Amino acid sequence: MHEIVLTLVRTHEGWAAPIVFLLAFGESLAFVSLLLPATALLFGIGGLVGAAGIGFWPVWFAAVLGAALGDWVSFWLGGYFRHGIGRLWPLSRHPDLLPAGEAFFRRWGTPGVFLGRFFGPLRSAVPLVAGICGMPAWRFQIANVASALVWATGILTPGLFAARWLL
């Protein structure tokens, strides 16, 4: 699958931003993130952006928007379904994920929403738990958007600089 996506981006530059949006959204969305290994693809696309001369800022903005929207939807799902969401597949197959996210969130609060984006399995659990715990939406959004800005930069720029340095 990795090769297919990278080839698509390489041959159809116009699809780079929409593909990055979908990957970042899926990587941040509860349920989907457990099934979609998008991190490696996003690093690879960062390299393609540098190697192929694809515009960085539209791709970066797509990553920020996708990540922030994925977390926002996860937060909303947590607020809507509360603890019952843990009984739904695929979360039901990962029974330790929500308790770990809840412990992390209760310990760190709003900074935990920011930090959670950078820790694989917690990436989708923390926004869900923040919604379950009734975190105020405005506090969640501040941490969500700030972390999406940093995350998108961190996931795309290593490949961008590596490709420019190697070429």
Reported as a single tens digit per residue, the pLDDT across 105-163 is 888 889 989 998 888 777 878 899 899 999 999 999 999 999 999 999 998 888 766 65
Nearest-angstrom CA–CA distance, 61 and 163: 20
Residue 33 pLDDT > 80, yes or no?
Answer: no
- What was the pLDDT predicted at 6? 59
Alpha helices, H only, 29-55? 32-35, 38-52
Higher pLDDT, 154 or 30: 154
Core vs surface per residue 85-111: b (16+ CB within 10 A) or e: bbeeeebeeeeebbebbbebbeeeebe
Q: How far apart are CA 6 and CA 44, in angstroms?
A: 7
CA distance 33 to 121: 8
Q: What is the pLDDT, as a whole number, of residue 69?
A: 97
Q: Give the integer Cα–Cα distance in Å for 92 and 31.
A: 10
**Domain assignment of residue 78, given as a range:** 2-166
Instruction: Record the pTM.
Output: 0.84
Report yes or no: 97 and 125 within 8 Å, Cβ to Cβ.
yes
Domain count, the chain: 1
Read off the pLDDT of residues 50-97 as tens digits, 9 standing for 90 and up. 766 778 899 999 999 999 999 999 999 999 998 788 787 777 787 887
Of residues 62, 43, 12, the one with CA closest to residue 163: 43
**Greater confidence, 106 or 4?**
106
Q: Is the pLDDT of residue 44 over 80?
A: no
pLDDT of 2 strictly over 60: no
Q: What are phi and psi of 59, to 5 degrees?
A: -70, -45
pLDDT surpassing 70 at residue 9: no
